Structure 1
Amino acid sequence: MSAQTEQGYFTEENSAEVVIGRNAACTDERLKEVMAVIIRHLHAAVKEIEPTEAEWFAAIRFLTKTGHMCDDWRQEFILLSDVLGVSMLVDAINHRKPSGATESTVLGPFHVADAPVLPNGANICLDQKGEPMVVRGRVTDSEGRPIAGAKLDVWQANDEGFYDVQQKGHQPDFNLRGVFETDAEGGYWFRAVKPKYYPIPADGPVGQLLARLGRHPYRPAHLHYIVSADGYETLTTHIFVPDDPYIDSDAVFGVKASLIADFEQRDDPARAADLGVGNPFWEVAFDFALAPR
């Protein structure tokens, strides 16, 4: 028997073993391991599903259409990974946290580098549209000790569910974005507007798949953060609005119970004037605990 058929000839019963064996000469051990797992599970799925040839070709057409939707701005395969929960699973595996540290979630496609560095208390809403909101909190280590000089890169959708990069010419550049630094007590605060839920792109094959599965394409309202400090693991996460209609059914599975923040509506003209926001306003408190590097 030749080296190419060292596991025997291909049959329905031994299909995975034959294909894995054909890769025996691979010198990249990690690639060999990964492909063996993928082949084993893929063949097991096919044997369990027993697709017709028409169904299998439909799957190929779906993947082809998914690839055709990808360009420099849109990555339909990442969207597919998101709605299948794979993106969040990869994030969870790569960012396991010690007890007491804030949990992570996915970055999302709308982060912009070089957002303006702003002083604490600055208003990141440049067009003054939406319900005013004040966000404050502390950055600490996992033991609760304050971290001075930590950086918080913050961005969010507006009150209509759009990011500035989605509405060039309508929203100002860097609207609802800013980078803040914690004070000596680890404190930070800024002004913004209450964000709104929004749909992921649903005009392609992934959106069509969601519709056929009876699922909606919406993400609940949230604020994005990247929190970093010397000597600590960088944290990429969100905080979520608790009363959002999609808080329990995020299309990309990004919600974690520990990341649902307290949003309190205040009707206090004197306090609003002191904070420099309209009345009534939303007040949000959320602390971040970083894991040591």
Structure 2
Amino acid sequence: MDLTSESTTAAVVDSFAATPDPRLREILQELVPHLHDFVRKVRLTLPEWQAAIEFLTAVGQKCDENRQEFILLSDVLGISMLVETLNGQSSGTESTVLGPFHMVASPEREHGDSIALVGGGTPCVVSGRVVGTDGAPLAGATVDVWQCNAEGFYDVQQPDVQPPGNGRGLFRTDAEGRIRFRTVVPSHYPIPTDGPVGKMLLATNRHPYRPAHIHFIATAPGHRELTTHIFVADSPYLDSDAVFAVKKSLIADFVEVDDPGQARAHDVANPFRAASIELVLEPADVG
């Protein structure tokens, strides 16, 4: 076969024709023409192709049990957010990216527990409620929570400073679909820049910062799983999140409360900040 730049594309597409899984066949046969068109459009050189191979190799080599550099790459290219948006709920709480630090299991905690195991930062009480799209509370739903500390680091980034599970908690909702936990107000922070993704951001004059946020994954029987955040309303970088994950509906006020009685009731120092979130889950048969 005498292959040209155009006939090579057709030959590669045809090579996947016998793929037994129809969805895998569709994905591969759509992917190849787009990749080949890109190579032709930019007239990719051999040194550039080699640099791309080395970059992807370095991304893989940076991954370990606590670090997922490929998710980080997907995040900064906006692919993670695009996939979330395409697959998100149509009538429930909006979803957003998982992020690269959901790499360890969150410890089970009770209603009202603190997920902040070390001192420092502004105390905060977060109240949440998990409901269906009809507004009915979802009792016994599971809510996985994780966040960075007041200095902008996750526990897995500082194993010598933060104990495992700091900033993390796995909660179950009560009969009214509620959870509540104590924590500290998270900080805005840079995504990891010590790997190939960070080098790419530096080379393209992009900043690495994310606005302050708390992550949630909510699950309940008969309902779609939801991955989302709440973003701290007065945080920097809400308009330029490095991973393009901010949605207006997910920005929450972390209100200052100066009330010694409420502080004692929640077992936090006064004054403190309070935030709330309602996680609305669609039925599993929607979408």
> Which moves more between the two structures, 39-48 or 228-237?
228-237
Q: Which of 35, 44, 51 is residue 37 of structure 2 equivalent to?
A: 44
For residue 212 of structure 1, the aligned residue among 195, 203, 212 is: 203
- Bigger mean CA deviation after superposition, 265-274 or 210-219: 265-274
Matched residue, 2:77? 84
Q: Is the CA contact (8 Å cut-off) linking 2:69 and 2:100 kept in structure 1?
A: no
Q: Which residue of 2 aligns with 1:184?
A: 175
Counterpart residue number, 1:195: 186
Name the residue aligned to 1:280.
271
Q: Bigger radius of gyration, 1 or 2?
A: 1
Deviation track 1:40-85 (CA, whole Å, cap 9, x = no partner) reads 0011112211233333333233223323323343332222112111
Q: Does 1:139 align with 2:134?
A: no
Is 1:58 aligned with 2:51? yes
Distance 1:117 1:270, change over 3 A: closer
State how far apart, in whole Å, the 2-side matches of 1:155 and 1:244 are.
Answer: 18
1:17 equivalent to 2:25? Answer no
Shift of 1:223: 0.8
Change (3 A) 1:117 1:49: same
Superposed displacement of residue 156, structure 1: 1.2
- Give yes or no for the alignment of 1:171 onto 2:162: yes
Q: TM-score, normalised by structure 2?
A: 0.89
Contact 1:262 1:286 in 2 (8 A): no
In the alignment, residue 156 of structure 2 is paired with which amino acid? V
1:222-274 alpha-carbon deviations (Å, 9 max, x no partner) = 11112122221222211111211111222222222211112111223333233
Give me the whole-angstrom Cα distance separating, in 2, the residues matched to 1:174 and 1:26: 43
Q: Which residue in 2 is equivalent to 1:125?
A: 116
Distance across 2 between alignment mates of 1:169 and 1:64: 29
Q: Which consecutive residues of structure 2, in runs of 5 or more, have no partner in the other structure?
A: none
Cα separation, partners in 2 of 1:17 and 1:187, compared to 1, 3 Å:
same
Cα deviation 1:152-182 (Å, max 9, x = unaligned):
2212111011122222242233222222232
Which residue of the partner structure matches residue 268 of structure 1? 259
Q: Does 1:226 align with 2:217?
A: yes
How far 1:25 sits from its partner (Å)? Answer: 4.4
Q: Give the secondary-structure state (helix, strand or coil) at the position aligned to 2:183.
A: strand
Q: Report the secondary structure of 1:191's partner residue.
A: strand
Comparing 146-155 with 189-198, greater Cα deviation is found at 146-155
Identical amino acids, percent of aligned pairs:
54
User: How far apart, CA to CA, are the structure 2 residues paired with 1:230 and 1:55?
Assistant: 49
CA displacement at 1:136 relative to structure 2: 1.1
Output one character per residue of 1:203-237: Cα deviation in whole Å (capped at 9) or x when no partner.
Answer: 12211111111111122211111212222122221
Counterpart of 2:238?
247
Give the stretch that moved more between structures: 264-273 or 209-218. Answer: 264-273
Q: Tell me whether 1:151 sits opposite 2:142 in the alignment.
A: yes
CA distance in 2: counterparts of 1:43 and 1:274, whole angstroms? 62
The AA in structure 1 aligned to 2:123 is P
Letter in 1 for 2:107: A
Describe the shift of the 1:231–1:214 C-alpha distance in structure 2 as closer, same or farther (beyond 3 A).
Answer: same
Per the alignment, do residues 98 and 270 of structure 1 end up closer, same or farther by CA in structure 2, a change over 3 Å counting?
same
Matched to 1:115, the amino acid is: P
Task: Report the count of equivalent residues.
Answer: 283
TM-score of the pair, normalised by structure 1: 0.88
Unaligned runs of 5+ in 1: none
1:98 aligns with 90
For the structure 1 residues 215 and 142, does the alpha-carbon distance in structure 2 shift closer, same or farther, using more than 3 Å as the test?
same
Distance between the aligned counterparts of 1:70 and 1:113, measured in 2? 18
